[in-house]
Structure 1
């Protein structure tokens, strides 16, 4: 499946703070902690705890969130299918970055070890 332009635009304009509580809920249901979630997000984006807390309660869109991030050099190693899309085949870089984050959160919720998640 290939994301459409409308799909990419919808993701770009979505607020990080509106999705963040869903990440927290997902991982806590599976016995993982917010600290582990923050570690995963910080690994991917390079944000520190304070910056992450600002984004999780602010009005920044995913476009702003990833525009200011320093993506981890190993982020390209995140592969697989998320929400019906093969991550490595997504041609829109922002949509791909959001799917990287989704995949990391999924791996955390599925109980993978931090060593495997943080490639």
Structure 2
């Protein structure tokens, strides 16, 4: 069975949307990068390489140095779905990222976002 179409979507095509969402609410690109690095273990250079390479989400997470050990503490609803209830591991990682960006855009303190 083929995966969801987001799996083959370029991370680089979605990344600017994350930044725009955060900036509309007074947050910064640097903060978006910080939450992405926290979740995935990429350093800034590694994150930028993934963006330039137009890596799809499946490869982006497969190549990530490590998922943060406290990522499972990310709870809540994204697009009407509870992130902790998502069965597919890749989709759950994508939803974790969506939730972190949502929390950032909603003005949550960085120390609370990064658990």
Same-fold call, TM cutoff 0.5: yes
Q: Which residue of 1 aligns with 2:15?
A: 20
Query: Which residue number corresponds to residue 45 of structure 2?
Result: 50
Which residue of structure 2 aligns with residue 60 of structure 1? 55
| Residue 102 of structure 2: aligned partner | 106
Moved over 4 A (4+): none
Quote the residue 1:73 is aligned against. Answer: 69
Structure 2 gaps, min length 5: none
TM-score, length basis structure 2:
0.94
TM-score between both structures, scaled by the size of structure 1: 0.91
Task: State which of 15, 18, 26 in structure 2 corresponds to 1:31.
Answer: 26
SS of residue matched to 2:103: helix
State the distance in 1 between where 2:30 and 2:44 align: 10
- Tell me by how many angstroms 1:68 deviates: 1.2
Q: Look up the SS of the partner of 1:94 in the other structure.
A: helix
1:107 partner SS:
helix
Stretches of structure 1 lacking an aligned partner (at least 5 in a row): none
1:54-106: CA deviations, max 9, x gaps?
A: 11232211000000111000000001110111111110000000000000000
Q: CA RMSD in A?
A: 1.2
